[in-house]
């Protein structure tokens, strides 16, 4: 796989890329086994749908509110009625597990001189909590939330915000996301994109095209080893 050149900053999506969003349900013992998979999928799907719809409507609320609303929908759809369980799951979402390769990959990028950052739909408090709980605070130069922009991915203003904050050009960014829709949008914006296709998604029929596709972030340093 050919290497990316001219990269100054490595910017990562958070949920699904750095953090395993399924780990909240996986760590909760009070969910019936036969509903775990459905709850994880429905919660995530509705969470994303609400961000897209709110962005279209111009009705922004932060990602904590969206995540809670999506969980309400998912629990109700599955016939689970427990305020205590909702509270437990929301608390677990603040301390999602990082994927196992993440710390080593981030350390190697920083040692090579790359700027490292998160660009996420997550609220500042959610991101700070997850990063701290995973022991990653010292491995990021910046944690960037759409909250500062007041809309959600895939609005171009979100990707522009990252450039403004990091002081780089779009072509100088390697953007990593496990979400195909996010990867394609960042590519259409002009960033170099590495699609971390953890979930074996199909290619999107959308503007943009990721520059590279990998299965885990373990493969990222090799793509950038000759970039500086």
Residues involved in catalysis: 13
What element of type H or E holds 37? helix 36-57
Q: Is the dihedral of CA 32, 38, 41, 46 positive or negative?
A: negative
Torsion of CA 56, 62, 64, 67, to 10 degrees: 0
Burial class (CB in 10 A: 0-12, 13-18, 19+), 51: buried
Decide: helix, strand or coil at residue 108: helix
Query: Is omega for the bond preceding 154 within 30 degrees of 0, making it cis?
Result: yes
Could you tell me how many residues make up the chain? 228
Q: Tokens 């895939």 identify what position?
A: 154
C-alpha pair distances (Å), 66 with each of 44, 60, 122, 123, 152: 11, 9, 10, 10, 11
Q: Tokens 């943009």 identify what position?
A: 208
CA gap 67, 55 in Å, rounded:
15
């Amino acid at each position: 796989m050919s290497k990316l050149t001219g990269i100054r900053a490595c910017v990562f999506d958070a949920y699904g890329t750095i953090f395993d969003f399924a780990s909240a349900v996986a760590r909760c013992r009070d969910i019936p086994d036969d509903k775990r998979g459905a709850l994880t999928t429905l919660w995530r799907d509705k969470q994303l749908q609400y961000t897209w719809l709110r962005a279209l409507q111009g009705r922004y609320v932060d990602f904590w509110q969206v995540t809670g609303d999506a969980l309400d929908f998912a629990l109700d759809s599955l016939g689970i009625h427990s305020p205590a369980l909702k509270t437990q799951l929301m608390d677990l979402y603040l301390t999602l597990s990082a994927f196992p390769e993440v710390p080593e990959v981030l350390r190697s990028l920083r040692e090579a001189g790359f700027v490292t950052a998160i660009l996420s739909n997550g609220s500042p408090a959610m991101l700070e909590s997850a990063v701290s709980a995973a022991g990653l605070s010292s491995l990021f130069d910046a944690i960037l939330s759409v909250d500062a922009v007041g809309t959600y991915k895939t609005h171009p203003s979100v990707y522009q915000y990252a450039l403004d904050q990091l002081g780089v050009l779009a072509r100088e960014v390697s953007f990593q996301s496990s979400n195909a829709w996010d990867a394609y949008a960042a590519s259409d914006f002009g960033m170099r994109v590495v699609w971390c296709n953890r979930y074996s998604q199909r290619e999107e029929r959308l503007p943009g095209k990721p520059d590279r596709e990998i299965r885990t972030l373990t493969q990222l340093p090799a793509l950038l080893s000759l970039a500086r």
